Structure 1
């Protein structure tokens, strides 16, 4: 099921959809399909389109000040931060490093007595170290006490992370726990839905914003760009996730 949830959306994201249309156009000799493939790829490669999509998904224009958040039972930091490779025993940061730094900032500000890292691990990388274990080691290097760090069971996606965190923190019928959830802004809405469904009261702390400031548009916003295509795909993937969980109820 996890493989299906991860791979099927790729077929309807701009690049996958364009390739399918292109192949169909060549096989059935339909220029219309080839033209449609080019149009889809071109449109979602425009920064003006990708920025609008990611802003719609993120829903925030600025970071929430740490001081504005109320105290909670735990700070929960979601995985998706580290790239593992030989020669880097604690991995290397990817664009999601703000999740880790945001969680550390919240803990050091005294917003919760413990910080929870999720043991994120996908099934097609069985030899990889669950990410939360690497983040826990990094946290101790920054002065976070070991007894204040908790790790969930291994989880393959956001829904699994929510369930695992619920078991770890003792959520059950009639017993709700308040957490501060830390994840990328584009991922926050879907993640918060899953943690609320798992029985948590969730305060949101979105980080890793993709849209940037609201600077005036230039001619470059109307020229195709590979980074814009990636941003469009991120936003559309989240929208597909919203639809999937909405259909599931």
Structure 2
């Protein structure tokens, strides 16, 4: 089932993400002009111009991120002790790391800051990183290899760290990590990932019978400033593509039975706490 979900999600991302749809529209526009359908071509061109103008001027990507990010509020206090801390892969740039030799990361690097802080706060907690390669090719380049390199450089005692390096997606993150630890009922585990990804991630853990305390980071929306002019087509379009892919992933997981709801909610009474030191 994990393999079916993986390939179905990949296919949906390839066909339905905004960048793919835009390319398909350009191909359609060229075909319309070639076949002499000038009226339809003009209408499609006008529609593309309007969409691009809206995306360029308004934070449409934040409108897409915000419903995901507010689903699991950032915590403000955590339990006195936890059994384990889980860091999901996704912040790593394995291709660049392999080419340049450093622990290259992307915009989601805040996941590592939170993970390191929590590791210091809970010195007796189990630590786990889970992440392999989500690529269709280059499966030998693993997120886990970048993670170990980065965490070692930052002074983490990697003797505490359990590394799962074969998971290709969130569903496999859950299944493979659960097989490693087989958590008992009542154990408290903290899950660290990007806020927009938390509903699908935490929802998958809940569906697997492993309720986790969500620790979302890397927020992409700005509440209170969602209606503003902000001319930045490239950044807005890239953000919209990321958000759209996450919504597609949510739909895929729900249809595939990996989550209980299209937009999962917390399945554990997690403390509303951000500063684990208080």
Shift in Å, 1:91: 2.2
> Which structure has the higher relative contact order (CA within 8 Å, separation 6+)?
2
Whether contact under 8 Å (2:104, 2:146) holds in the other structure is: no
Within 5 Å, which residues of 2 pair with 1:115-154? 115-122=127-134, 123-128=136-141, 130-154=142-166
Distance 1:74 1:90, change over 3 A: farther
TM-score with structure 1 setting the length: 0.84
Provide structure 2 residue ranges, at least 5 long, that are not aligned to the other structure.
Answer: 258-278
Cross-structure match for 2:19: 15
Aligned residue pair count = 243
Shift in Å, 1:143: 3.6
Distance 1:112 1:239, change over 3 A: farther
Q: Which deviates more from structure 2 when the two are superposed, residues 97-106 or residues 31-40?
A: 31-40
Whether contact under 8 Å (2:192, 2:216) holds in the other structure is: yes
Shift in Å, 1:23: 2.0
Distance 1:81 1:42, change over 3 A: same
Decide which of 43, 50, 57 is 2:68's aligned counterpart. Answer: 57
Provide structure 1 residue ranges, at least 5 long, that are not aligned to the other structure.
Answer: none
Distance 1:110 1:97, change over 3 A: same
Question: Which whole-Å deviations, capped at 9, do the CAs of 1:69-103 have from their partners, x for residues lacking one?
Answer: 45332100011112233564342121111111111
Cross-structure match for 1:164: 176
Greater fraction strand:
1
Shift in Å, 1:213: 5.5
TM-score with structure 2 setting the length: 0.76
CA-based RMSD? 2.7
Cross-structure match for 1:247: 255
Cross-structure match for 1:196: 206
Q: Which deviates more from structure 2 when the two are superposed, residues 107-116 or residues 39-48?
A: 39-48
Shift in Å, 1:237: 1.6
